[in-house]
Structure 1
Amino acid sequence: MKYTEDHEWLNLDGDVVTVGITDHAQEQLGDIVFIELPEVGTQISKGDDIVVIESVKAASDIVAPLDGEIVEVNDAIVENPASVNEDAEGGAWFVRVKVDDTAQLDEYMDETAYKDLIA
């Protein structure tokens, strides 16, 4: 598992990375009320806005951490956005991306470094 400074978690399985937000991020956002996901098949580049999240406190975007193609989206969180508050680092993932270069993950933090960041 890797973590971004934007409080996303990244879990690599082969050449597919599952992307979600950390428990810390969902706590900061508060009750999540709306999520908009990209279309499967969308080509993304690192830095692109790929997900819109709205909470009772704020609206924010998830930014693509890697270059690749969206191969799966978690429609369940669109139907039940509050599930992200309940299981942010588990079943409430956002997208799965077939990455162009898994070496891009090397620039992100491991769990220890992420915990230091949010401490």
Structure 2
Amino acid sequence: MFGINGPEFLILLVIGILVIGPKRLPEYTQKLTNIVKELRRMASGAKEQLKEETGVDLNEVDWRKYDPRQYDPRKIIRNALLDDEGGADAAAAPNAVAAAAAGAPAFAVAAAAPERTVERLSAGEKAPFDSEAT
């Protein structure tokens, strides 16, 4: 809390009590109590409004499902590559499943990739220049 540890907070609290004094302390305590009650009322009102608008009760939400620590990008990619409906070749999927079960990485099991054609310039030929590319 603002870089203040326990003993520092207690010292500030004692100094605050001494500065306020015993005459005004009940008044400030009552003001603090009213502020806390108002904040709680506003928070519960916001919860009720959210429940009415979305139809979801916050107490019934499984928050573990939304924990970002549970997502493993490798697992997501592996599942996407092994998914038959994801556009992968149906013939490559059984090989990928077998290789994944054997411990091979999913990217190493891809079906025969189409060959890339690389166009090379002949010796002494200048590279094309596009003045609008920048």
TM over 0.5: no
TM-score by length of 2: 0.18
Higher RCO, Cα 8 Å, sep 6+: 1
TM-score by length of 1: 0.20
Larger radius of gyration: 2
Structure holding more helix per residue: 2
